[in-house]
Amino acid sequence: MPRSRRVFAAALLLFPALSARAAALKPELSGLGFLLGSWSSGTGKVAETGGTSTGSSVITAEAGGAVLLRRDHTNLFDRSGKPAGGFDQIMTIYAEGGAVHADYFDGDHIIHYTSAVVVPAKSVTFMTASLPGAPAFRLAYRLQGKSLAITFGMTPPGQTVFHPIATGTLRKQP
């Protein structure tokens, strides 16, 4: 069989497996199936440095559909466009006690999102608890066609207005 036919046949075999993974999500997470897949970014904005970012993200269903696992790599650039480093990050998304939670890790930071507002197949906004003397964080994903708009913000301790830290758009990969 020619190479192009083998690749096409493999893609056809893989498509049902990916669809099955989305269908296999536990009921509490079924509204988040739109997040599954491989994503790559255009240029994002990093508010605190005035720089930009690019990167990639893969979101898979794990543990029998009880957890979504997000694995990312982010490249950072300064204001002039010169490389300014990068980092890897992961986030687990799961249901517990009747609510959707998420835990984020990047090697330097851990963020525990204690609640989420889910609009099935369209958006999800994760929020941390508001604790005295501590910042609060909000991470939102909004599906726009084949793109995923992302907004990450923070409120400083004692304040209630979220300030953007980073924004960007991911594009779904075939």
pLDDT at 111: 97
CA-CA distance, 8 to 83, in Å (whole number)? Answer: 37
Check pLDDT > 80 for residue 4.
no
Three-state DSSP class for residue 78: coil
Residue 122 is classified by DSSP as T
| Res. 161 pLDDT band, cuts 50 70 90 | very high
pLDDT at 45: 87
**pLDDT tens across 77-130, in order?**
999 989 999 999 999 999 999 999 999 999 899 999 999 999 999 999 999 998
For the chain, what is the domain count?
A: 1
CATH number of the domain where residue 9 is located: 2.40.128.20
Q: Which domain holds residue 31?
A: 3-172
**pLDDT tens across 14-73, in order?**
333 343 344 489 999 999 999 999 999 877 888 888 889 999 999 999 999 999 999 999
pLDDT at 7: 32
pLDDT at 18: 40
pLDDT at 5: 37
Contact (Cβ atoms closer than 8 angstroms) between residue 150 and residue 39: no
Q: Report CA dihedral (163, 41, 13, 2) to the nearest 10 degrees.
A: 180
Check pLDDT > 50 for residue 173.
yes
pLDDT at 21: 41
| Res. 75 pLDDT band, cuts 50 70 90 | very high
CA-CA distance, 120 to 125, in Å (whole number)? Answer: 11
Check pLDDT > 60 for residue 9.
no
Q: For the whole model, what pTM was predicted?
A: 0.82
Segment 156-172 shows an average pLDDT of 91
pLDDT at 24: 84
Q: Which amino acid is at 133?
A: G
pLDDT at 49: 86
Q: Are strands 83-96 and 136-144 parallel, antiparallel or unpaired?
A: unpaired
